[in-house]
């Protein structure tokens, strides 16, 4: 049985899927588990940056990344659950999770699959009308 837990994150709600043991299915997650999950989500979302890649469109998107946190705090089994539709956003989302390291999780969290939506907002293009006008300099050849 899979239970779902919604937590507030920095950018949006995170949907975390956990496979609960039979004894814990009818009980709510402990405060320790809830705090660990919130810290994990906040840490990963704080690492979000927009990937600027030449010849790629400046678009936003949400990629959902699946992963597990091992008992030692290392991240494992990282994969893309749902694509944003843009390869540069998807690969950045995967890289954000791949590079993460956490404190050892509470027993109820270790090795449980986590699905985390990571939302990327496209940077606004520069407004050329607000840039200072370039002045032209006239150069006269020497001796004239």
How sure is the predictor about 139, in pLDDT bands with cuts at 50, 70 and 90? low
| Domain contains 144 | no
Q: How far apart are CA 57 and CA 86, in angstroms?
A: 9
Q: Contact at 8 Å (CB) between 106 and 32?
A: yes
Number of domains in the chain: 1
Closest CA to 11 of 115, 102, 120: 120
Position 123 scores a pLDDT of 80
| Domain contains 142 | no
Position 142 scores a pLDDT of 63
What are the pLDDT digits (tens) for 88-102?
999 999 999 998 889
How sure is the predictor about 118, in pLDDT bands with cuts at 50, 70 and 90? very high
Range of the domain at 102: 2-21+34-123
């Amino acid at each position: 049985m899979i239970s779902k837990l919604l937590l507030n994150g920095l950018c949006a709600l995170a949907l975390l899927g956990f496979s609960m043991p039979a004894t814990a299915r009818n009980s709510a997650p402990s405060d320790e588990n809830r705090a660990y999950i919130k810290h994990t989500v906040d840490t990963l979302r704080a690492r979000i940056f927009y990937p600027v890649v030449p010849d790629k469109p400046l678009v936003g998107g949400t990629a959902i990344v699946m992963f597990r946190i091992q008992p030692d705090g290392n991240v494992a089994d990282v994969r893309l659950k749902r694509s944003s539709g843009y390869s540069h956003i998807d690969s950045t989302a995967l890289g954000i999770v791949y590079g993460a390291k956490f404190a050892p999780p509470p027993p109820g969290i270790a090795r449980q699959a986590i699905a985390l939506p990571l939302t990327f907002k496209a940077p606004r293009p520069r407004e050329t009308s607000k840039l200072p006008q370039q002045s032209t300099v006239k150069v006269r050849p020497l001796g004239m």
